[in-house]
Amino acid sequence: MEDKLKRNTLFNPSGDVDLRLRRMIGGNTTNLNDFNNMKYSWVSDWYRQAMNNFWIPEEINLSQDFKDYPRLDKAERTAYDKILSFLVFLDSLQSNNLPTVSEYITANEVNLCLHIQAFQECIHSQSYSYMLDTICSPEERNDILYQWKTDEHLLNRNKFIGDCYNEFHEKRDKFSLMKTLIANFILEGIYFYSGFMFFYNLSRNGKMSGSAQEIRYINRDENTHLWLFRSIILELKKEEPDMFTEEKVKIYEDMMREGVRQEIAWGQYVIGNEVQGLNSQMVSDYIRYLGNLRWSGLGFGFLYPDNQKEPENMQWVGQYSNANMVKTDFFEARSTAYAKSTALIDDL
């Protein structure tokens, strides 16, 4: 196959040093972690932001959540469990797929970012385990952790992205890499959001505030992951126009629409009209708005003409998810949790 990608050579003294020869894919990298000479200048800002975002799940106090969890309404509790199960699975999939992507990225500064992202995805999975360990019994915890296999809706949801990632693992060509990058973008920019908004909604109703705080840290990381993948895709648009023929872009657009469709269906299944403060219409309007935001962020315009603006009744989501815009509250909450930092050593 002519567009089969060549895996990076690990020890490669004959790799290119000249920045002008560096490419996102198809180049010849030495693999040197050279922080002084970067072709993709946005990496410096990205790296600094990712470092600044470092956090430890156990620094967030979940003692109120321990009391709140048994008192949640049945619908809230079912949604909490299923959403958590979904998120644990997605973060695991991410941390396992990213190293495969970086085997074919020939700009080492970008690989640095992908490795940091993989590390953060592991922290996300661990934060969910910490939440489950705190609020429920080991039996309940294990049941929730594996609902992604036993709940038919959940399994189907994971299949779309899972199959796409699997295709890349098998084919390792340019087109399947691009589909994996788009799937990644859908996952981090659309899929997580029904879950995130559910936790934020609980918190604004005075429930599970520690869980929402965990999610805010995760969400802050996810924002940088989106930034990374958007940048990679935009660079590839410039460097590899054959990956963006009209026919191929149509396939990426269909993937994006399918991702939005599935996220709305999932939101209706797991949240529906049963959770105080949310309803199906709010969920679908918000997810379509996100679809527009993501697709236009790649320079392709809007998918849903009626959903170009953030729905007014969902503006509270942004107050939670844009953590860097509300630094004061965010870091005040963090500093109180530092009081128990000695306990961390035992926990880890």
The answer to whether 294 and 223 have CB atoms below 8 angstroms apart is no
Q: How far is the CB of 113 from Fe ion (least distance, A)?
A: 12
- Identify the CA nearest to 164 among candidates 73, 79, 243, 258: 258
The answer to whether 113 and 120 have CB atoms below 8 angstroms apart is no
Q: 29 or 95, CB closer to Fe ion?
A: 95
Q: 58 or 121, CB closer to Fe ion?
A: 121
Active-site residue numbers? Answer: 128
Q: Does 91 bind Fe ion (CB under 5 A)?
A: yes
**Could you give the CA distance from residue 282 to residue 290 in angstroms, rounded to a whole number?**
12
Q: 109 or 222, CB closer to Fe ion?
A: 222
Q: Does 225 bind Fe ion (CB under 5 A)?
A: yes
242 annotated to bind ligand: no
Q: Does 214 bind Fe ion (CB under 5 A)?
A: no
Binding residues for Fe ion, total number by CB under 5 A: 6
221 annotated to bind ligand: no
Q: Does 124 bind Fe ion (CB under 5 A)?
A: yes
Residues in the chain: 348
Which x/- pattern, by CB under 5 A, does the window 154-193 give for Fe ion?
A: ----------------------------------x-----
Stretch that binds Fe ion, among 8-16, 117-125, 208-216, 248-256 (CB under 5 A): 117-125
Helix (H, G, I), strand (E, B) or coil at 105: strand
225 annotated to bind ligand: yes
The answer to whether 293 and 188 have CB atoms below 8 angstroms apart is no
Q: 125 or 262, CB closer to Fe ion?
A: 125
Stretch that binds Fe ion, among 123-131, 170-178, 274-282, 296-304 (CB under 5 A): 123-131
**Could you give the CA distance from residue 186 to residue 180 in angstroms, rounded to a whole number?**
10
Q: How far is the CB of 94 from Fe ion (least distance, A)?
A: 5
Q: Does 109 bind Fe ion (CB under 5 A)?
A: no
Q: How far is the CB of 286 from Fe ion (least distance, A)?
A: 19
What tokens does 226 get? 């989106």
Q: Which phi and psi angles does 112 have, rounded to 5°? A: -55, -45
115 annotated to bind ligand: no
Chain residues in the site for Fe ion (CB under 5 A): 91, 121, 124, 188, 222, 225
